[in-house]
Structure 1
């Protein structure tokens, strides 16, 4: 779940599902792989791409079709190939083809040898018949209204109404079919077009919910499955309360970030204690509320912070910008980090809202939204209002809403789960609920860490070993596992030593 204002078996068991597709893997009926679009092939020349037609409406399978872009990186050792590994980066709305290309550089050699890596842009994302709801140059022009200011509340509600209306006007025919069960049916169409009886699946963030729904609808087609940074699948949490729960996790993670800045006072000079860094933070926010600095206002400052807490690659530049502003009244480093939404980002925002708004009922009374945000803002002020405005178009959504699918894990083979203890986007309590909902699952917890995305993303050698052993050999830990967190960033290390990859 990526934000932008604008997740025991007795004994070490080898799974019964061994190389299910190794001998029948040559052809991909229905998919003719060839060159990828230039914006994909240039950074990821190893990828092959194909287009797949899927029904706009699965109730009318021979009716209007949509185009999905699917990518493949073939297994490096055909003799060791055991199947296809379908990859989803989350969102909803994250471009999956590009993510699969970037993730390949982080995956262990044994996985690259054993699997065709399959990426795909979910329907209406990136290269898959993309949609947008507004003109990004006007609607997302910075600085945006202060999410916390009572005097801006009516303006923010008007923007939410405008966004929902724009989605209906620009993409109305797609909205009834933009939801997670439909995405799951698209996944099965990809499996079928690949010529696979079963597929393995790697899903991060929203991709964990998509994987769980796919497993609920098509358990007979699941080989091995890793769900990393898990959405709480409880039907009462999808999606309104999942968003509220992020506010609590974000405030706690912000405090840990302040601790990290304080531990490196010799670099940032903002104090040696959390409270001193907090004071500097509050001072910058207060100054921006008095008067924005060009494109940098309070909304953009919160956005930078919230997104930095998902990973760690932005920790150093954000702290440097905070120090420059607080100590020298120099806003350049912070302002340079503000990236107004372009067409691709607006497409991601449109899908984020469309899928979440359609997956479940949402409150329609303004007072209920404001009451919940006001309550949370007392103790968790960073994102309480910011998060509300991100999904506020759901209050005005004009497309049908579904009742969320209950996840029971019936018929699923053993599943491997990962979550960090302090994840902001998919708080740990939700991961525990996913674990309870999938009785065949084993869970790996990364303690004393909060990066969104653990396996192959965080640089945690033990977590990576466990995931690789499962995908390649079918071996799971005998019970749930806790692993020490990966090292925190070293602000003195050269940027070239950055070893982690953040989710899109």
Structure 2
């Protein structure tokens, strides 16, 4: 699903030479493993500066797994070594989702202490595991793909809801798809989740691990499920958090349809009441209807007369991003208040300004490339518009999500072979987490993932809509969920049955002095 968190800056780096590890070809036969292992050393500055405790290596893998002796690409792999080697259990490979988010940096964010000394992964886990991240193929420091100039879509972008914008937007996304093919012809057909899962097995083998211990968030849950389908006997302990529905044939097309309703639900039933509760801080209204009116007026203002680079699309995108996690609510609502109450748009235009950097374009390129390669997409423009029109009757986010979550796939250069069917056959016990109101991976889809993995146990966070339950930052930590996940990683012990945990506290804003 389209989960574009703040992304670590990427740049060109010198590659550390390593031998090619054992990998599995499409028939399942082993390619002979080299005697050499990954050589971890100094990280590129983009990783070393924010995460000095990490070491880095690169791993060469086949561009095309049906031709294991053909062209290779290099993946950046990071490691936070176990703090207590005597207690070491093994390696824990982590993936933050996206598609297109840096797994190399994610290993650092999970293991780096904050100002209070708190780490997202429990210290006992950091004592016992090497935390391993890697940038999946096409992502930032692993053969990154780029489709177009960073300003390809312009700023502000055409209003996503306006009928008058549709021809222009279709042309923009169609030309983007064409540029993706032109600029990435060799790698583009090899960016789907099956290739990503095979890369993950190559990382496991290069680490010298017999089993893959894995923590996957969001899209990382689907990547983990694909890995488990391909290599069930190589799965050790696996946590899937914020789970995709793996069942639709048109899996990614269905994602945006499901998200349209889920994000409006999150906005209406979680966010707006929270704003009304703190009217003494934000002064946007004491009731949900009053807050909604303030929001709708602001959205109309920006649609009608864009403020610099920020129009209706950029404002909707900012609200969409804020719904993933409550950590951004205070800043977003404070900026909205500055505009509504004081007429000052500076804060709002600052946080809603489009990312026109090369890194932002690369993130969009790999996200688009993975979802177009992974599953079937309609080729009929009318199908998209019909579904968006229907969804827009009840969701302000419908058109925005449609345009930014797959409209390029309508004119993609090749047809996807289709998604891998997930059965869970042969898997050991898997631990799942999902909040009941998650808009990015709605709970109904998590239940379908749970059913597709018969050995899984599901932990549901009640009264919560945050995307991701386990190993959050301190402000959104769920102590009960962390205890369950930590126990499982350390001992392999799963809850005896599906269970629930209470929701984590929402942020409490304070009045300005």
TM-score w.r.t. length of structure 2 = 0.90
Contact 2:188–2:369 under 8 Å retained in 1: yes
* Aligned counterparts, 1:17-416, within 5 A: 29-105=36-112, 106-136=120-150, 138-255=151-268, 256-337=270-351, 338-381=353-396, 383-390=397-404, 391-416=406-431
2: CA distance between counterparts of 1:235 and 1:304?
Answer: 28
Contact 1:85–1:116 under 8 Å retained in 2: yes
Aligned residue pairs total 471
1: CA distance between counterparts of 2:36 and 2:86?
Answer: 21
Contact 1:235–1:405 under 8 Å retained in 2: no
Q: 1:294 to 1:387 in 2, by over 3 A?
A: same
> Which of 442, 454, 464 does residue 449 from structure 1 map onto?
464
2: CA distance between counterparts of 1:157 and 1:191?
Answer: 41
1: CA distance between counterparts of 2:492 and 2:330?
Answer: 39
Q: Partner of 1:9 in structure 2?
A: none
2: CA distance between counterparts of 1:174 and 1:236?
Answer: 23
2: CA distance between counterparts of 1:96 and 1:422?
Answer: 25
Q: Partner of 2:16 in structure 1?
A: none
Contact 2:2–2:98 under 8 Å retained in 1: yes
Which deviates the most, 465-474 or 313-322? 313-322
Which deviates the most, 333-342 or 78-87? 333-342
Superposition misfits of 4+ residues, deviation over 4 angstroms: none
Higher RCO, 1 or 2 (CA under 8 Å, sep at least 6)?
A: 1
Q: Which structure 1 segments of 5+ residues have no match?
A: 6-26, 495-504
1:431 to partner: Cα distance:
0.4
Q: Partner of 2:489 in structure 1?
A: 471
Which deviates the most, 332-341 or 413-422? 332-341
1: CA distance between counterparts of 2:511 and 2:433?
Answer: 28
1: CA distance between counterparts of 2:253 and 2:111?
Answer: 33
* SS of corresponding position for 2:327: coil
2: CA distance between counterparts of 1:28 and 1:201?
Answer: 24
* SS of corresponding position for 2:182: helix
Contact 2:4–2:101 under 8 Å retained in 1: no
Q: Partner of 1:460 in structure 2?
A: 478
TM-score w.r.t. length of structure 1 = 0.91
1:103 to partner: Cα distance:
1.3
* SS of corresponding position for 1:167: helix
* SS of corresponding position for 1:296: coil
Contact 2:219–2:244 under 8 Å retained in 1: yes
Q: 1:321 to 1:101 in 2, by over 3 A?
A: same
1:329 to partner: Cα distance:
1.8
1:262 to partner: Cα distance:
0.4
Contact 1:142–1:340 under 8 Å retained in 2: no
1: CA distance between counterparts of 2:237 and 2:4?
Answer: 32
1: CA distance between counterparts of 2:477 and 2:354?
Answer: 27
1: CA distance between counterparts of 2:142 and 2:395?
Answer: 38
Contact 1:28–1:194 under 8 Å retained in 2: no
1:45 to partner: Cα distance:
0.8
1: CA distance between counterparts of 2:3 and 2:297?
Answer: 24
1:209 to partner: Cα distance:
0.1
Which deviates the most, 450-459 or 296-305? 450-459
2: CA distance between counterparts of 1:186 and 1:211?
Answer: 12
Q: Partner of 1:484 in structure 2?
A: 502
Contact 2:4–2:98 under 8 Å retained in 1: no
2: CA distance between counterparts of 1:493 and 1:315?
Answer: 15
